[in-house]
Amino acid sequence: MPDRTLLEHTNAGGDSTGSSAPSGAQFHPYGIASAVHQIRSPLSALCDRSGRRVGVLTSARESDNDAHVPSGTHLLGTLPPLYPEWLGDRSFCEAHGVRFPYIAGEMANGIATTRLVIEMVRAGMLAFFGAAGLGPATVERAIKTLHEELGPRGPWGVNLIHSPYEPALEDGVAEILLKWNVPRISASAFTALTPAVVRCAASGLRTDRQGEIQRPRKVFAKVSHPTVAERFLSPPPRDVLRTLVDREQLTPTEAELAGKIPVAEDITVEADSGGHTDNRPMSALLPSILAMRDSMTSSFGYTDPIRIGVAGGLGTPRGVASAFAMGAAYVLTGTINQASVESGLSEDGKSMLAEADLTDVTMAPAADMFEAGVQVQLLRRGTLFAARAKQLYDTYRAYNGLNEIPQAERTDLERRVLRSSLEEVWNEVVRFWHERDPAELRRAENDPKHAMALTFRWYLGNSSRWAIKGDQRRRSDYQIWCGPAMGAFNRWVSGSWLDPLRNRSVVQIARNLLEGAAVATRAHQIRTFGAPLPDSAGNYVPRRLV
């Protein structure tokens, strides 16, 4: 456990007011720890005459430190003020008109609500509305709200998720994003570049008077694999551009300009995260993609910077600090925002997340790519969803149709998992797909295995909705996407101001993470001078930040 007394003492030194009480030289570990938290003041490292004791001196101005070096000590070096705003790549804040290099990521089915996006943008951060899984009409309503509340050009965005099984849906959402000229689009789950995502990146491209290519909107790409990163770091494939010109969805000029620039200039590298994830460690993935960015920038001769951000596993200030230290231009969080006041998840679901520890997560079959065996990471504690979804997947693998399932297994599925007869579920499946895409039903008529997949996907799709609605009758079936960041976050905030769910606004979560990341960064800087820091000096206790 961190030393709370020390933390309360040290936290008192730095806050968002920018206070910078001048103080004398500190050689005692507790005094040094206190100086660590005065991140907005310059800090000098000193050495005594023996050359063995290292201490620090903080003051309002860097020049003061030079003037006040106590006799008998000499200056090792001076650190400038450190603001959370400066942790990432300055070009990120400039390009997107935000104060902080921080994004609240999209969460499907509107769990990342319009309210969540609005709060983040008003606090100087970027956020994406969770459009995946929603019908085009709902997505359009949300865009209208964001337009009205935040203006047409504000730093808000919407997710465009690749839908390999429903290409018409992907095209339909892209059409709406373009119709409303949504200023930022987060493209995710793409393995190859589809016409929909290329159209979003290229439509409206033009040159200004200086001949520079101007983008009317910015596409972010979320990637967890180097080959996908490579596609977004390249100009779009020629054949896709040609198709779009033939369909009159791009002009020849737009296609020509698109051929000179990368599809995306903001690439979010996603490590082990909640929801869809390859469970890759950030420390392996990020350096590889940073190197790829550098070599592709040089080989294509790009002149504008390409920013690489990081998502996955971020739930503590030290985690965020490590992402920036590794070279992330910005950070993006997901899981921890699902338990925020503004999230669309039910209060019941949020309270389950608040109980989660690091290892209370598991992988289970995904609703959208069930047949392909794709899995998502989700909460294990307090719900039996993962075990039940795996049972459905095993059954799907074992038989060619519902009729082949032996009676005992069928009864077990109906009683324990579906809690409905297979016939009742099938009737609901027919109603749903009749509205959404009747072609699925036609396919199921001729393919009993597909009919079985649709039936089982009924459970996987509804289990998310039960969690969102907080349907107590199906509590043990809640499907709540969640990564290890949740447990890390809960441990960090335990007993602090951010512990109660009512205080976990998405903005306070972000501001505290960034403030704490600046403290952790400062502690690291001071450590490199050889100052005797107490172990917990870089810890930060959450508080209400204004």
Give the residue with the Cβ less far from ligand FMN, 509 or 520. 509
Q: Does 338 bind ligand FMN (CB under 6 A)?
A: yes
CA distance 212 to 47: 51
Q: Which two tokens stand for residue 279?
A: 């469970």
User: Given candidates 36, 116, 120, 132, which one binds ligand FMN under the rule CB under 6 A?
Assistant: 132
∠ Cα 546 56 50 (to 5°):
170
Q: Does 273 bind ligand FMN (CB under 6 A)?
A: yes
Least distance CB 193 / ligand FMN (angstroms): 16
**CA-based nearest residue to 526, from 85, 38, 12:** 38
CA distance 511 to 520: 14
Least distance CB 58 / ligand FMN (angstroms): 34
CA distance 158 to 370: 25
User: Given candidates 483, 487, 534, 538, which one binds ligand FMN under the rule CB under 6 A?
Assistant: 483
Give the residue with the Cβ less far from ligand FMN, 460 or 482. 482
Three-state SS annotation for 425-465: HHHHHHHHHHHHCHHHHHHHHHCHHHHHHHHHHHHHHHHHH
User: Given candidates 36, 57, 108, 452, which one binds ligand FMN under the rule CB under 6 A?
Assistant: 108
The answer to whether 174 touches 202, Cβ cutoff 8 Å, is no
Q: Does 316 bind ligand FMN (CB under 6 A)?
A: no
Give the residue with the Cβ less far from ligand FMN, 111 or 118. 111
Stretch of 107-115, 295-303, 384-392, 426-434 lying at the interface with ligand FMN (CB under 6 A): 107-115
The answer to whether 75 touches 41, Cβ cutoff 8 Å, is no
At 249, the amino acid letter reads Q
Instruction: Please give the size of the binding site for ligand FMN, defined by CB under 6 A.
Output: 28
**CA-based nearest residue to 317, from 87, 91, 61:** 87
Give the residue with the Cβ less far from ligand FMN, 7 or 161. 161
Give the residue with the Cβ less far from ligand FMN, 323 or 418. 323
Give the residue with the Cβ less far from ligand FMN, 112 or 413. 112
Least distance CB 157 / ligand FMN (angstroms): 11
Least distance CB 245 / ligand FMN (angstroms): 28
Q: Does 309 bind ligand FMN (CB under 6 A)?
A: no
Beta bridge partners of 56: 26, 45
Least distance CB 108 / ligand FMN (angstroms): 3
Q: Does 270 bind ligand FMN (CB under 6 A)?
A: yes
CA distance 287 to 264: 18
Least distance CB 315 / ligand FMN (angstroms): 7
Q: Does 353 bind ligand FMN (CB under 6 A)?
A: no
Q: Does 342 bind ligand FMN (CB under 6 A)?
A: no
For ligand FMN, the nearest residue by Cβ is 334
Give the residue with the Cβ less far from ligand FMN, 43 or 120. 120
Stretch of 195-203, 441-449, 480-488, 499-507 lying at the interface with ligand FMN (CB under 6 A): 480-488
Burial 58-87 (b: 16+ CB within 10 A, else e): bbeeeeebeeeeeeebeeeebbebbbbbbb
Stretch of 77-85, 211-219, 380-388, 479-487 lying at the interface with ligand FMN (CB under 6 A): 479-487
Task: Give residue 256's Cα distance to chain centre.
Answer: 32
Q: Does 395 bind ligand FMN (CB under 6 A)?
A: no
Stretch of 16-24, 141-149, 481-489, 529-537 lying at the interface with ligand FMN (CB under 6 A): 481-489
CA distance 434 to 199: 29
Q: Is 378 helix (H, G, I), strand (E, B) or coil?
A: strand
Give the residue with the Cβ less far from ligand FMN, 13 or 483. 483
- Cβ neighbourhood burial of 11 (10 Å; 0-12, 13-18, 19+): buried
Least distance CB 453 / ligand FMN (angstroms): 21
**CA-based nearest residue to 133, from 467, 360, 361, 426:** 467
75: left (phi over 0), alpha (psi -120 to 50) or beta: beta
Q: Does 334 bind ligand FMN (CB under 6 A)?
A: yes
Beta bridge partners of 308: 267
Q: Which two tokens stand for residue 488?
A: 């890390």
Q: Does 157 bind ligand FMN (CB under 6 A)?
A: no
Q: Does 111 bind ligand FMN (CB under 6 A)?
A: yes
Under DSSP, the state recorded for 86 is: G
Q: Which two tokens stand for residue 168?
A: 């018409």
Q: Does 487 bind ligand FMN (CB under 6 A)?
A: no
Q: Does 328 bind ligand FMN (CB under 6 A)?
A: no
Least distance CB 485 / ligand FMN (angstroms): 4
Stretch of 46-54, 233-241, 312-320, 515-523 lying at the interface with ligand FMN (CB under 6 A): 312-320
- Cβ neighbourhood burial of 33 (10 Å; 0-12, 13-18, 19+): buried
Q: Is 279 helix (H, G, I), strand (E, B) or coil?
A: coil
The answer to whether 360 touches 381, Cβ cutoff 8 Å, is yes
Least distance CB 367 / ligand FMN (angstroms): 12
Give the residue with the Cβ less far from ligand FMN, 65 or 346. 346
CA Rg, the chain, in Å? 26
**Widest CA span in the chain:** 89
Residues engaged in binding ligand FMN (CB under 6 A): 105-108, 111, 130, 132, 159, 161, 188, 222, 270, 273-275, 311-314, 332-335, 338, 481-483, 485
